[in-house]
Amino acid sequence: MQLHDYRNLYRDNLLDDVIPFWLNHSGDAQFGGYFTCLDQAGAVYDTDKFVWLQGRQVWCFSMLYNRVEQKPEWLDFAVQGAEFLKKWGRDAGGNWYFSLTREGQPLTQPYNIFSDCFAAMGFGQLHRAIGDPEYGAIAVDTFHRILARKEAPKGIYNKAYPGTRPLKSFALPMILCNLVLELEHLLEPELVETTIASGIHAVMDEFYQPEFGLILENIAPDGSFSDSFEGRLINPGHGLEAMWFVMDMAQRKGDQALIEKAVDLTLKILEYGWDRQYGGIFYFLDVKGNPPQQLEWDQKLWWVHIETIISLLKGYLHTGDERCWEWFEKVHQYTWAHFPDPEHGEWFAYLNRQGEVLLPLKGGKWKGCFHIPRGLFQCWKTLEAIAEKRVNQLLPS
Amino acid sequence: MQLHDYRNLYRDNLLDDVIPFWLNHSGDAQFGGYFTCLDQAGAVYDTDKFVWLQGRQVWCFSMLYNRVEQKPEWLDFAVQGAEFLKKWGRDAGGNWYFSLTREGQPLTQPYNIFSDCFAAMGFGQLHRAIGDPEYGAIAVDTFHRILARKEAPKGIYNKAYPGTRPLKSFALPMILCNLVLELEHLLEPELVETTIASGIHAVMDEFYQPEFGLILENIAPDGSFSDSFEGRLINPGHGLEAMWFVMDMAQRKGDQALIEKAVDLTLKILEYGWDRQYGGIFYFLDVKGNPPQQLEWDQKLWWVHIETIISLLKGYLHTGDERCWEWFEKVHQYTWAHFPDPEHGEWFAYLNRQGEVLLPLKGGKWKGCFHIPRGLFQCWKTLEAIAEKRVNQLLPS
């Protein structure tokens, strides 16, 4: 395949397949918001509404409106999701519930700070589209609450006994790296800079452990390795996703050395996480080679693969490192041979180790309208930038 | 295979393989208690101590001492585990932590009432062996605390928003059915009878739903079906395990009709949960055929298979129903072809759908010294009882 074939594939899959799938199947015309539990053909099999998936879908359609085309139907679809969230999504303290009934009644308490992260991301992106100050205020207020809860994100729902084995987790600092860029237009420049600096420091100096050449999911407060189930856990997809967040931050501040470090780490994590027997990237591994606690450890997940492709393409764009392109072709081939559904459109989410579809859903409690469209967009635009660099002879053809 | 071949297989695997495996590999001579995170060869790969697995292992060695042979090494092994639990296992309120460090420091709060259930079971069985009143008091006190927490077992760690979709779960009433018989010698007879009656009612009249012919994992407080992820969930192994608890209670009160109902349900659940493509019993299914939330839904687990064999053999013993024997031979064949490890002994825990070993561990956070030895003992004794009935011509040969 030529560069423009790749670009067309990612663009067309986004605009002609994935986005129409969600537009056609996920809107709840009666109560607002989105259904995300969609079967292979797009039929709704459960009506619960998971707040982080609602926020992500608001973000997705706002982003398309802001960055692809100002289509009213995209904006309307985002706004109706945001209105549902605004009305039903928060408790009295302004924290975002984890899940709601179809009608909006709270089902699960605000124990999960990622609900807040993706609500902030959705409202921030929508504010870019229409500038409604209320949307901006919700995004900013939520962002400050996240920072305030950062040290104890699970709050009263934390089951760890205090003090015995304190650990800090990779997921939140990683997501903050992306979120702060999303909300840049709404935040004080100084807060943006300090958040970026501390995000890069957390990812590249703390959770990245040179001893293993990998990013750990959980570390001791002093940054040391914890030889426990949580401490030994590697989620290759998480690390790989974080690398393009880091590249975006590095590009913003013109730090080529940081980009190169992120590219180096992308390749290391991918070498480690790749299943040499069946292809694809494992979901979880134990850094010492022990059996991980997660029974789903060997499964191949949609988001892991599309996020990896983004990092490889951005890595290639910024450095021209041929290893990025070679790995891109390999991961691309596996991904497109296994995940997209030629019959009903969109992508399968969960494959078993052998690459067979494990659950035929297109969306559920954990998959909504987010990683695939964001990834297709990022790849499309990165492939365009690569083409432009080639035209300008800044990258070899 | 002849009846006595089966009996010898279950007995010898218990006494010559499984019990020596745990005796040789799991004792913590330095701090007391048991390691349960054992790799394929029995080496310790993690030293955390999960309270419910500690309690189960105390129970197991006490039970062997009480019902197989009064071996001092079995009793000593049980006592050292009980002493570790007595010293470190509870919070100030008498609730059992979920997990401890190797040394006994609390790691995870008492959010899980099954820690309490298996602590009570362990101390109750050990009290039968040596009559130490302190062990008896711990068992009884814990049992009363379980009853007091029954309506809200997760306490402050419950993340469900109150009132929106209240559900009650099958696991606790099911385990109480077994636990009350374990503690019968320590409890007021009236409490035993009312607990048995309410346990049978819960399992057979509430969680068993004739509409589906299956046992549901979660139902609405009024016993109705909840069309939600939790409400649609079927855990065939849970239902199958409960059926021999029910048969034990029915046998105790001489209720043949209840035994026949439990046999009928055993066969129904097994027909439903059996994987016709690869053999073995699925871990989770959605009663409406939707994708379950559990990514491990198609895996084949050790406890599901051994518990099913117990119910089939007890069903055959009590009713002579040939379908029980035919299914026993089929489940036996699958189980013994896949789970026991001919190289290092004991049984594998987690197989993928195809029957290949998914994680090579012999113990971990969820598997300890419990289901396999209990199941081997139950099968051995049930096969003996079947042989005796045949000799007395109460069952066809």
Q: Do B291 and A365 touch (CB under 8 A)?
A: no
Residue of A nearest to B300 (CA): A295
Distance from CA of A245 to the nearest CA of B (A): 28
A328-362 tens-digit pLDDT? 999 999 999 999 999 999 999 999 999 999 999 99
pLDDT class of A281 with cuts at 50, 70, 90: very high
d(CA A25, CA A134): 28
Contacts of A359 in chain B (CB under 8 A): 291-292, 295, 297
Per-residue DSSP letters for A134-201?
Answer: HHHHHHHHHHHHHHHHTTSTTGGG--BPTTTS--EESHHHHHHHHHHHHTGGGS-HHHHHHHHHHHHH
Distance from CA of B116 to the nearest CA of A (A): 16
In this prediction, residue B396 carries a pLDDT of: 85
Work out whether the CA dihedral A145, A148, A150, A151 comes out positive or negative: negative
Contacts of B229 in chain A (CB under 8 A): 46, 48, 365
- A232-248: b (≥16 Cβ within 10 Å) or e: bbbbbbbbbbbbbbbbb
Whether ipTM exceeds 0.90: yes
Residue of A nearest to B292 (CA): A359
Partners of A44 in beta bridges: A38
Confidence check: pLDDT of A130 > 90: yes
The residue type of B193 is E
Q: In 10 A of CB B255, how many CB atoms? A: 16
**Nearest CB neighbour to A156, from listed B98, B106, B156:** B156
Q: Do B105 and A39 touch (CB under 8 A)?
A: no
Contacts of A290 in chain B (CB under 8 A): 37, 39, 45-46
**Nearest CB neighbour to A164, from listed B37, B101, B295:** B101
Residue of A nearest to B49 (CA): A228
Residue of A nearest to B360 (CA): A291
d(CA B90, CA B106): 9
Confidence check: pLDDT of A207 > 80: yes
CB B42 within 8 A of CB B21: yes
Listed in sequence order, the DSSP H helices in chain B are 3-13, 19-25, 51-67, 72-88, 113-130, 133-149, 171-182, 189-201, 229-232, 236-252, 256-273, 302-319, 322-338, 371-391
A36-49 tens-digit pLDDT? 999 999 999 999 99
In this prediction, residue B270 carries a pLDDT of: 98
Average pLDDT value for residue range A36-63: 98
d(CA B350, CA B305): 11
Which of the residues A159, A229, A277 would you substitute to probe the B interface, choosing the one with the greatest number of B C-beta atoms within 10 Å?
A159
Token pair listed for A181: 């860029």
Contacts of B98 in chain A (CB under 8 A): 159
Residue of B nearest to A162 (CA): B107
Average pLDDT value for residue range A267-277: 98
**Nearest CB neighbour to A106, from listed B107, B161, B299:** B161
CB A105 within 8 A of CB B164: yes
B167-196 tens-digit pLDDT? 999 999 999 989 999 999 999 999 999 999
In this prediction, residue A397 carries a pLDDT of: 78
**Nearest CB neighbour to A45, from listed B97, B98, B290:** B290
Token pair listed for A121: 């991301």
Partners of B38 in beta bridges: B44
Contacts of A233 (CB under 8 A, 6+ apart): A216, A217, A218, A284, A285, A286, A287, A292, A293, A294
Per-residue DSSP letters for B18-63?
Answer: IHHHHHHHSB-TTT-SB--EE-TTS-EEE--EEHHHHHHHHHHHHH
**pTM tops 0.95, yes or no:** yes
Confidence check: pLDDT of A108 > 80: yes
Distance from CA of A102 to the nearest CA of B (A): 11
In this prediction, residue A396 carries a pLDDT of: 85
Question: What is the full per-residue pLDDT of chain B (397 aa) written as tens digits?
Answer: 999 999 999 999 999 999 999 999 999 999 999 999 999 999 999 999 999 999 999 999 999 999 999 999 999 999 999 999 999 999 999 999 999 999 999 999 999 999 999 999 999 999 999 999 999 999 999 999 999 999 899 989 999 999 999 999 999 999 998 999 999 999 999 999 999 999 999 999 999 999 999 999 999 999 999 999 999 999 999 999 999 999 999 999 999 999 999 999 999 999 999 999 999 999 999 999 999 999 999 999 999 999 999 999 999 999 999 999 999 999 999 999 999 999 999 999 999 999 999 999 999 999 999 999 999 999 999 999 999 999 998 888 7
Helix, strand, coil % in chain A, rounded to nearest 5: 55, 10, 35
Confidence check: pLDDT of A203 > 90: yes
Q: Do B108 and A160 touch (CB under 8 A)?
A: yes
Q: How many CB pairs under 8 A join A and B?
A: 101
B311-345 tens-digit pLDDT? 999 999 999 999 999 999 999 999 999 999 999 99
Residue of A nearest to B353 (CA): A352
